[in-house]
Amino acid sequence: MTALHTPKAPDIIKSNTIKIAAAMICNDQGKVLLVRKRGTSFFMQAGGKIEQGEDPLVTLERELQEELSFVIVEEDCRYLGKFSAKAANEENAMVEAEIYHIKSNLKVTAQSEIEQLIWIDPRNLGSLKVAPLTRKLLEADVMT
């Protein structure tokens, strides 16, 4: 009889990695836009899952359009890099994110799956419930 293979921690992490593209949208006052998706409690960056073989910027364009009716202006958008953290809304999963910095002073409105959006001061998160990836990026001050 063959023994059942019990996955070790790194296997679990590898098989439960959610790949996303997300935006760090900042305005001239140094505020950052965060969203809270319907039925969830964490505030996070707008964005979503990258489809198989998709260019992350194409993912981000689609997600920002869907979530905020926001159209990316190429010269205001800068790739910051790939970052990972524990996933916010799922047990035992990691999120691996392609992060883009976007400068914008446009008034945005929550669409479809977005229940709430807020502009926050990244130096003063207070007791706000912020997703681990977003907290990591804000604390690392990746925008500067």
Q: Which residues bind ligand 8DG (CB under 6 A)?
A: 18, 20, 22, 37, 44-45, 47-49, 87-90, 95, 131, 133-134
Residues in CB range of 67: below 8 A, 6 or more apart: 35, 46, 48, 110, 111, 112, 113, 114
Closest to ligand 8DG by CB, 45 or 104: 45
Closest distance between ligand 8DG and the C-beta of residue 12, in Å?
16
Q: Which two tokens stand for residue 26?
A: 């900042």
Pairing of strands 77-86, 94-103: antiparallel
Closest distance between ligand 8DG and the C-beta of residue 35, in Å?
8
Closest distance between ligand 8DG and the C-beta of residue 33, in Å?
11
Closest to ligand 8DG by CB, 2 or 100: 100
Spatial distance between the Cα atoms of 82 and 70, rounded to a whole number of angstroms: 22
